[in-house]
Amino acid sequence: MTEPAAVTLARHFSSLTIDRIPARHLEDAKALIADWFGVALAGSRTESGAIVRRFAMETGGSAEAAMVNGGGVRVPAVHAAFANAIASHSVELDDVDILALYHFSPPVVAAALAAAERAGATGAELLAAVVGGCEAMARLSDATNPSLRNRGYHTTPTVGVFGAAVAAGMLFRLNEAAMVSALGLAGAQASGLMEMYGPSMQKRFNPGPAARNGVTAAVMAALGFTGAATILDGERGFCRAFSDGFDPVPLTRGLGEEFPIFIEYKAYSCARPIHNGIDCAIDIRRQMGAAGVDGIRRITVRRHPTWAHYHQIPHPATHHEAQVSLNYSVAVALREGAALLPQYVEEKLRDPAILRLSGMLTVVPDETLPRGVSCHMTVEAADGAFFAAQVDHPKGSIANPMTPAEAAAKAHLLGDPVIGAEGVDRLLAQIRTVGTAPRAAALMALAQGAP
């Protein structure tokens, strides 16, 4: 009889060390950690970041791990993972997979850094754990999506809890049996719904429980609490419960030889499937000239049916809602040629010129577009002229990557107001050599400074 997938995966992850991971994936892990810190530093200054940090401090407990911009205050690792995951998802600039279904770093990196502090782990152990956690997320998403998303589940937390459990379990040096239990206990806590778009902070919350619950699962397994080995592919396991189209093959295909981890990065401060529209808007703005934007008569956006019915919010009520609004994001990009944090502030939501453009956008499903996130945009100008652009691979994608200089500039844009330019430079330098660092906790220590 075929053994449960959780057993096969646990054997792999409990023995995965840095020397067994291809160099390119270790470099990807460093880039992911660097991007996470920039985003988390900016997120720590948001209202949602401040609230969750207050929650962690007021709840209290053992001083095990630090929170980004927490002034050196240490809290239990489960609380640190919770707070840091929410902070890193609070400015809509965190990484994303190639299908724009989920974010790797909020659950995995947040859990890994907290667990590394609790365990006193090395930098090499941290890198391996981040790769392992990302691999777990990727395999589970490949096995259950797009059905999981289409049923209304949010992929980031639902598969992220397993990634967080794997990362924490590797840092706690769990053996195979304990890793099986960690996966089982993670599945018992899997949750997260796509009913998160709107004016509230709901979307920011989702990765928090995933990171916290993953660390909880690994801690409980280390203490001897056992979990179900059939949690993934059992008759009533995660994959069948969360997906109508479960495919077991990706769970273990090429295990130990292939790491199906494909990470992309955000150049704009909003939901990833919107980025193609922003790239189109910026291209059209360049074609027609900034002076012609105010005379635009009509905006038609063709989106692949995969995402055509999402993000249609003509008049967002808060900046939270604006960051998941295709209409607003296209409008502000046409007006200002950018879509970063300064474009998603409350006063912009009342700008008549932006509101006019946002209200006129029409979305048309088009299954001929080559990718789920593809976008084709047509704009009619005041003189009747038409301008068009199509983007299949947005800026920051694997096919259209950000340069190292652009990635560093993003980290500085987000991190400089929190820890200063020199602080960000020191943090980025430490991440580049983290594989040889005796203490992974040095990274979080560098993120506690002040400008």
What are the pLDDT tens digits along the chain (451 aa)?
689 999 999 999 999 999 999 999 999 999 999 999 999 999 999 999 999 999 999 999 999 999 999 888 999 999 999 999 999 999 999 999 999 899 999 999 999 999 999 999 999 999 999 999 999 999 999 999 999 999 999 999 999 999 999 999 999 999 999 999 999 999 999 999 999 988 899 999 999 999 999 999 999 999 999 999 999 999 999 999 999 999 999 999 999 999 999 999 999 999 999 999 999 999 999 999 998 999 999 999 999 999 999 999 999 999 999 999 999 999 999 999 999 999 999 999 999 999 999 999 999 999 999 999 999 999 999 999 999 999 999 999 999 999 999 999 999 999 999 999 999 999 999 999 999 999 999 999 999 865 4
254 contacts 135 by C-beta, under 8 angstroms? no
| Amino acid type, 325 | S
Sheet strands side by side (includes 375-380): 361-365, 298-303, 375-380, 386-391
119 contacts 172 by C-beta, under 8 angstroms? yes
Pairing assessment for the beta strands 298-303 and 361-365 based on DSSP bridges: parallel
Q: Tell me the backbone φ, ψ of residue 268, rounded to 5 degrees.
A: -130, 155
Q: For tokens 């995402």, what's the residue? A: 307
What's the confidence (pLDDT) of residue 78?
98
Q: Tell me the backbone φ, ψ of residue 399, rounded to 5 degrees.
A: -80, -15
Give the CA radius of gyration of the chain. Answer: 21
Query: Is cis: bond before 394, omega within 30 of 0?
Result: no
What is the separation of C-alpha 288 from the centre of its chain, rounded to a whole number of angstroms?
A: 34
Report the C-alpha gap between 89 and 42 in whole angstroms. 10
CA distances from 355 to 171, 200, 287, 320 (A): 49, 20, 22, 16
Report the C-alpha gap between 90 and 43 in whole angstroms. 5
- Report how far apart the first and last C-alpha atoms of the chain are (Å, whole number): 60
**CATH 3.30.1330.120 spans which residues of the chain?**
272-391
Tokens of 337: 């040629």
Question: Beta-carbon neighbour count of residue 290 at 10 Å?
Answer: 12
Report the C-alpha gap between 229 and 140 in whole angstroms. 15
What's the confidence (pLDDT) of residue 451?
47
**CATH 1.10.4100.10 spans which residues of the chain?**
5-267+403-446
Report the C-alpha gap between 164 and 218 in whole angstroms. 9
What's the confidence (pLDDT) of residue 448?
86
For the chain, helix (H) and strand (E) counts, in that order, are: 19, 8
What's the confidence (pLDDT) of residue 450?
53
What's the confidence (pLDDT) of residue 1?
63
Report the C-alpha gap between 374 and 403 in whole angstroms. 22
What is the separation of C-alpha 335 from the centre of its chain, rounded to a whole number of angstroms?
A: 27
What is the separation of C-alpha 443 from the centre of its chain, rounded to a whole number of angstroms?
A: 19
User: What CATH superfamily classification does 272-391 receive?
Assistant: 2-methylcitrate dehydratase PrpD (3.30.1330.120)
Residue 301's beta-bridge partner residues?
Answer: 363, 377
Report the C-alpha gap between 84 and 13 in whole angstroms. 24
Report the C-alpha gap between 170 and 147 in whole angstroms. 29
CATH assignment, 5-267+403-446: 1.10.4100.10
Report the C-alpha gap between 424 and 446 in whole angstroms. 8
